Amino acid sequence: MNSKKISIAIDGPAGSGKSTIAKEVALKFGYTYIDTGAMYRAITFKALRENICLTDEQQLTQLANHISIVLVYEPLIDGTQLHVIMDGSDVSEEIRSIEVTNNVSVVAAVSGVREAMVLLQQKMALTGGVVMDGRDIGTVVLPQAELKIFLTASVTERSKRRWLELKEKGIMVELQELEEQIRQRDYLDSHREISPLCQAKQAILLDTTSLTIDQVVTKVIELACTKGAQFDNYLMNKYR
Ligand code: DC
């Protein structure tokens, strides 16, 4: 069957539910899921590990030009786990640490780092059939994407979601502290000089503050179908 494979760009601030939604949507259509935030996190993790000064743009750019990042998402084998392989090692856990989270916005603001990552992301999307989430996907990485979504939710709601996520992992933090960190990250991500977080012109805005995951997934799937995406029945039956 000659089914059309489209590209879906999902942008939005931290904690708006991008990765949860993107993974589900990718699974329904049998598309590749690409978490671009994980790529910036991998560079940040490597920079911290190698004691690189995070204001040294030249060194960070060099690091980004030589890093190998492979994203492996095999829901049939591994549930909803995304594996991030950096220079041959699985760093999926390490890149979610609080230290990486608190420093990633600074690294992601470096132009050389962004140039290297955007090229890599565009290569990953060459074949179509991708769901890519991030901050600049609809505006810079895949401006030709057939479907662009801008997901958002109130800061309070996003902080609560992160708090619950961390609690499930046994990490206890003050909700207020988390809210402050999210506000700060929002500010840095949307005020940086290069590719700041903003809604692409043709992007559809979805405020998820009072919506369930299922409601958002259903909405995005409906929109994707109107753009020509077709379900992967084999994957759906296997996974359910
Ligand atoms: O989605 P996340 O929280 O894992 O993203 C980590 C950081 O990376 C976030 O502070 C913004 C940055 N980022 C970016 O600048 N551009 C992207 N396409 C994706 C993430």
pLDDT in tens, 207-237: 999 999 999 999 999 999 999 999 887 666 6
The stretches in the chain having pLDDT less than 70 are: 1-3, 234-240
Ligand 1: centre distance to CA 233 (Å): 32
Q: Using most ligand atoms within 8 A of CB, pick from 135, 182, 186 the residue to mutate for ligand 1.
A: 135
Question: Phi/psi at 30 (nearest 5 deg)?
Answer: 70, 35
pLDDT of residue 77: 83
pLDDT of residue 232: 83
pTM (predicted TM-score): 0.93
Distance, in Å, from the CA atom of 214 to the CA atom of 231, rounded to the nearest integer, reads 16
Distance, in Å, from the CA atom of 67 to the CA atom of 46, rounded to the nearest integer, reads 9
Q: Using most ligand atoms within 8 A of CB, pick from 16, 36, 100, 141 the residue to mutate for ligand 1.
A: 36
User: Looking at this protein, which amino acid is placed at residue 225?
Assistant: C
Sequence spans of domains, the chain: 7-224
Ligand 1: centre distance to CA 4 (Å): 29
- 35-62 residues labelled b (16+ CB within 10 A) or e (exposed): bbbbbbbbbbbbbbeeebebeeeebbbe
CA 91 to chain centre: 16
Residue nearest to atom 18 of ligand 1 (CA): 134
* Residue 192, ligand 1, Cβ within 6 A: no
- Please calculate the CA angle 14-17-19 and round it to the nearest 5 degrees: 90
Tell me how far CA of residue 89 lies from CA of 44, 59, 68, 69, 162, in angstroms: 15, 21, 10, 9, 26
pLDDT in tens, 161-176: 989 988 998 989 999 9
Fold observed for domain 7-224: Rossmann fold (3.40.50)
Cβ atoms < 10 Å from Cβ of 193: 7
Ligand 1: centre distance to CA 234 (Å): 32
* Residue 140, ligand 1, Cβ within 6 A: no
| Burial (Cβ within 10 Å: 0-12, 13-18, ≥19) of residue 214 | exposed
Ligand 1: centre distance to CA 218 (Å): 24
